[in-house]
């Protein structure tokens, strides 16, 4: 049976861990509020632009712009967004697992990875996967400038016909306790399904379509990448907040259990000493 000193040492260690996890929970809660506000503000613009461009891509010929072009090749780039840090439950594990499933489903096509986040980079760097590009520290404070740099690199690869398809994989923020892994196409801009050409409305443009697309389509890719970064950042903070809350509760239960055990050990020691004293006194009296 462990002595009281060892048990009290374990209780102090559990209390120290509890303080750390509680502090991390509060920090994540503060960061989550800001990240959630940015996500909610960015969603309407990105979703409406996606809807408009999907509709527009259905009405115009693919040769109108390189980002609309659908090619026969199957060279794929998968943009995987993970966190830079751990202690956020199954957040990174779920993203990596979906990435591996995507690669397995497209085993007949070459898949290059574009990794955003230290956890994903470290995982795939230790394994024999093709990683074309990587970046870290983009989820700490996601900025539109970071999204622009990432999007321009992706656009350049696609326009130069080095890639035929580009997909995004990230965690979408649903609530503090729920995040959903999303795998969605980024390039080429997809057309709306189920719309016949006879029912499409022809639009008149004040400027040449090429000029409009040159300004609008790259902006669309940048906004979609930025939205994915914001979603991933909010999801990370929500997952970390939930994980740290669970860890704090587990530490509390452990402290209570160890305290009860320490009291039992101390009581058993006192009882043993009393028995020894009484037994010694009885032996001396005889």
- Assign residue 136 a region (left: φ > 0; alpha: ψ between -120 and 50; beta: otherwise): beta
pLDDT of residue 203: 62
pLDDT above 80 (res 246): yes
How many domains does the chain fold into?
1
* DSSP letter (8 states) at residue 115: E
Asked if residue 94 lies in contact with residue 113, where contact means CB atoms within 8 angstroms, the answer is: no
User: Domain for residue 1, yes or no?
Assistant: no
Q: Above 90 in pLDDT, residue 167?
A: yes
If residue 179 lies in a helix (H) or strand (E), which one and from where to where?
strand 178-187
Question: What local confidence, expressed as pLDDT, does residue 4 receive?
Answer: 78
Is residue 215 in a domain?
yes
Residue 40 is part of which domain span? 20-192+200-243
pTM as predicted: 0.83
Q: Could you report the per-residue pLDDT of 96-128, keeping only the tens digit for each? A: 999 999 999 998 889 999 999 999 999 998 888
Residue from 39, 56, 88, 111 carrying the catalytic annotation: 88
What per-residue confidence (pLDDT) applies to 97? 95
Asked if residue 16 has pLDDT above 80, the reply is: yes
The more confidently predicted of residues 62 and 134 is: 134
Domain assignment of residue 274, yes or no: no
Residue 83 domain-assigned (yes or no): yes
CATH code at 27? 3.40.1380.10
Q: What is the pLDDT of residue 266?
A: 81
Let me know if residue 10 belongs to a domain: no
71 within domain boundaries: yes
Per-residue pLDDT tens digits for 217-242: 888 899 899 999 999 999 999 999 99
Per the annotation, the verdict on 88 as an active-site residue is yes
Residue 267 lies in a domain: no
Note the pLDDT of residue 51. 75
Q: Tell me the pLDDT of the chain averaged across its residues.
A: 85
Q: Output the pLDDT for position 39.
A: 85
pLDDT at 1: 54
In a domain, 54, yes or no: yes
């Amino acid at each position: 049976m462990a002595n009281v000193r060892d048990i009290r040492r374990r209780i102090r260690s559990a209390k120290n861990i509890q303080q750390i996890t509680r502090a991390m929970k509060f920090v994540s809660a503060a960061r989550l509020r800001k990240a959630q506000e940015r996500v909610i503000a960015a969603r309407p613009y990105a979703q409406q632009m996606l809807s408009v461009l999907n509709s527009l891509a259905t009405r115009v010929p693919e040769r109108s712009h390189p980002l609309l072009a659908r090619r026969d090749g199957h060279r794929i780039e998968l943009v995987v967004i993970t966190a830079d840090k751990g202690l956020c439950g199954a957040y990174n594990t779920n993203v990596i697992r979906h990435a591996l499933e995507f690669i397995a489903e497209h085993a007949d096509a070459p898949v290059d990875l574009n990794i955003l986040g230290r956890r994903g980079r470290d995982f795939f760097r230790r394994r024999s996967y093709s990683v074309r590009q990587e970046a870290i520290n983009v989820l700490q404070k996601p900025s539109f400038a970071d999204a622009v740099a990432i999007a321009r690199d992706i656009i350049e690869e696609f326009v130069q016909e080095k890639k035929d398809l580009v997909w995004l994989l990230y965690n979408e923020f649903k609530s503090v306790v729920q995040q959903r892994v999303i795998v969605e196409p980024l390039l080429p801009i997809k057309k709306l399904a189920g719309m016949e050409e006879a029912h499409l409305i022809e639009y008149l443009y004040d400027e040449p379509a090429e000029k409009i697309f040159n300004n609008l389509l790259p902006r669309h890719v940048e906004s979609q990448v930025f939205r994915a970064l914001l979603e991933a950042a909010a999801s990370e903070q929500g997952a970390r907040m939930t994980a740290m809350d669970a860890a704090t509760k587990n530490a509390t239960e452990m402290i209570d259990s160890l305290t009860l055990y320490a009291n039992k050990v101390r009581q058993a020691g006192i009882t043993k000493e009393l028995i020894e004293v009484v037994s010694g006194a009885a032996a001396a009296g005889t």
